[in-house]
Chains A and B, each alone.
Chain A
């Protein structure tokens, strides 16, 4: 597979794989229950007993980081899943039917793109209760525009191909054409966009945590471990270093993978 030869994609894949394993096996690897409070061990520096130290309630940071990985990945996957789902549907309709449906959908895309999305996310989360589901749904609902445009663009170029015309003359239903012929050939940009979207969703969650609107206590997320510790970075450096690095690596991994895939799958590179 070409992927292996592309250093970007490969490093990305390795990082993501590592984090995925850690997240999946968190309950087994974690030395403590992430919610286990120990008020005798408040803000202990990294040591043998606590590899990454403890937080303000004496909870083991390493265990919380492992479970936090699950949250970050979950938020990323679900949010992007929603965004991609919406994007595929709207993009297919716009790209296939064209005409007034296309104009309407594109207007909607333009409107959504003109509103600063972080503002919108912020407003909606603040108005509803910040919960992990609300966050995932709202991020999803504000990031479908890119996928829509990509799918639409692919459809524009593909629908002129012979096999599409052939399917149409043979009387295949629109739905069948879209799902069997057009979509499978538009996968490339969708995959790349999804992978990059996961990276962005993880960053948005940490930003929301900073504002107090992220995943709520006592659930551990990298964003809220970082936020909890921000007032003592001159003392409890472990509360800032580890989650910050974790977010950095995860996002890095997804971006590397995404860019690498883009390089790999770009037909121009075949020359």
Chain B
């Protein structure tokens, strides 16, 4: 499966005309063609595509994703120590955590808020509560992300100085204690997390609403009610559990969307994550990094789906009981 992903990625990239020696500097009259040809050879770019691919494949089996072309030989995946003990950090190693953090926070928010919104909407179906939540949800779905980001940045950062505008840390961050540091980071993350998870929030709230509606009309709910259980118990214990189960799988499926959507948010909010790294690598034709990110991104998705499946299995009493027996 991973071979499939890597094959597709590799060949798509070689659609690209141009290579890493074609950045801005190379059109400076002070540089010469011989020097650039020299660079090409040093980077193996003059070998045929198939050869380049097999060389790459051989290396990633050992988890060696190679070195970046454009970031001057920084390792793509993990840090390296040279003979003097100086550590050079890997590109993905540095950018993955923040993207992961934003996506995880996003998933937590999506999960929790959409359950609340969806349930409210379902319980009070066809009232103004339902209508306004549905309206909010649809607008959230429809709003272009970067436009919303700019408006919010202006409103919360310039017109009123409530939140920081871009970046991850304030000046003088390192002199704060760890509690303030965390607070500072969270303040910087509020807008990016909100903007990147808004459409997911919208979609899943709707899903929860529909799921709850379906469940609430089923027989076992009527049975529970007739047994005299309180309405609260009926909703929160019985209906919710059943409606929420498929949600776990859906959230797992939305991971690639979240990762992909991070390109724009990271660019606007100046967050050095994987999305931005990917975009820059594409423009620089930095193949090792592009391949690395596509591979890691897919691995993460598969991993996420695995967790989702496990979570589903654990949550679903039918499956759980089956395993225990």
A and B in contact, CB less than 8 Å = yes
Which residues of A are in contact with B by a Cβ distance under 8 Å?
A: 8, 107-108, 110-111, 113-120, 122-124, 126-128, 199, 203, 206-207, 210-211, 223, 226, 230, 233-234, 240, 244, 247-252, 255-256, 259, 268
* A262–B235 alpha-carbon span in the complex (Å): 25
Out of B12, B15, B290, B297, which one reaches A116, CB within 8 Å?
B297
Contact indicator B16/A127 (Cβ below 8 Å): yes
- In the complex, what residue of chain A is closest to B153 when comparing beta carbons? A233
Q: Does B260 contact A (CB under 8 A)?
A: yes
Contact indicator B9/A115 (Cβ below 8 Å): yes
* A113–B297 alpha-carbon span in the complex (Å): 11
A sample of 5 more A-B contacts (CB under 8 A), given A123-B12, A240-B150, A251-B142, is A117-B256, A118-B261, A203-B144, A230-B150, A255-B142
* A122–B283 alpha-carbon span in the complex (Å): 10
Contact indicator A111/B144 (Cβ below 8 Å): no
Contact indicator A127/B17 (Cβ below 8 Å): yes
* A226–B151 alpha-carbon span in the complex (Å): 12
**Proximity string of chain B (242-284) to chain A, C-beta cutoff 8 Å, 1 when within and 0 when not:** 0000000000010011011101100100000001001100110
Q: Does B13 contact A (CB under 8 A)?
A: yes
Give chain A residues whose Cβ lies under 8 Å from the Cβ of B8: 111, 115
Contact indicator A122/B144 (Cβ below 8 Å): no
Given known A116-B259, A244-B144, A248-B142, contact A111–B283 (CB-CB < 8 A): no
Give chain B residues whose Cβ lies under 8 Å from the Cβ of A203: 142, 144-145
- In the complex, what residue of chain B is closest to A252 when comparing beta carbons? B142
Q: Does B27 contact A (CB under 8 A)?
A: no
Q: Does B294 contact A (CB under 8 A)?
A: yes
Contact indicator A118/B260 (Cβ below 8 Å): yes
Shortest CB distance A260–B (Å): 11
Out of B261, B264, B297, which one reaches A115, CB within 8 Å?
B297
15 pairs, CB–CB < 8 Å, chain A vs chain B:
A107-B1, A111-B1, A114-B256, A116-B260, A116-B297, A116-B301, A117-B257, A124-B15, A126-B283, A127-B16, A199-B141, A203-B142, A206-B144, A248-B139, A251-B142
Contact indicator B141/A251 (Cβ below 8 Å): yes
Given known A127-B15, A207-B144, A251-B142, contact A115–B256 (CB-CB < 8 A): yes
* A240–B259 alpha-carbon span in the complex (Å): 26
Q: Which residues in window 136-157 of B have CB below 8 A to A?
A: 138-139, 141-147, 150-151, 154
Give chain A residues whose Cβ lies under 8 Å from the Cβ of B290: 123
Q: Does B76 contact A (CB under 8 A)?
A: no
* A110–B306 alpha-carbon span in the complex (Å): 13
Contact indicator A252/B267 (Cβ below 8 Å): no
Given known A114-B5, A116-B256, contact A247–B282 (CB-CB < 8 A): no
Shortest CB distance A77–B (Å): 18
Q: Interface extent on B, as a size class?
A: 35 or more
Q: Does B104 contact A (CB under 8 A)?
A: no
Most interface-central of A113, A117, A120, A127 (chain B CB within 10 A) = A127
Shortest CB distance A113–B (Å): 7
Summarize A's interface: helix, strand, loop or mixed: helix
* A162–B132 alpha-carbon span in the complex (Å): 45
Contact indicator B147/A244 (Cβ below 8 Å): yes
Shortest CB distance A259–B (Å): 7
Out of A117, A249, A250, which one reaches B260, CB within 8 Å?
A117
Out of A107, A114, A233, which one reaches B302, CB within 8 Å?
A114
Contact indicator B12/A207 (Cβ below 8 Å): no
- In the complex, what residue of chain B is closest to A124 when comparing beta carbons? B12
Contact indicator B147/A226 (Cβ below 8 Å): yes
Contact indicator A115/B139 (Cβ below 8 Å): no
Out of A114, A226, A244, which one reaches B298, CB within 8 Å?
A114
* A64–B23 alpha-carbon span in the complex (Å): 34
Out of B206, B267, B301, which one reaches A259, CB within 8 Å?
B206
Q: Which 3 A-B pairs have the closest CB atoms?
A: A116-B260, A118-B260, A127-B16
Given known A115-B256, A126-B283, contact A211–B144 (CB-CB < 8 A): no
Given known A119-B263, A123-B290, A124-B15, contact A111–B5 (CB-CB < 8 A): yes
Q: Does B158 contact A (CB under 8 A)?
A: yes
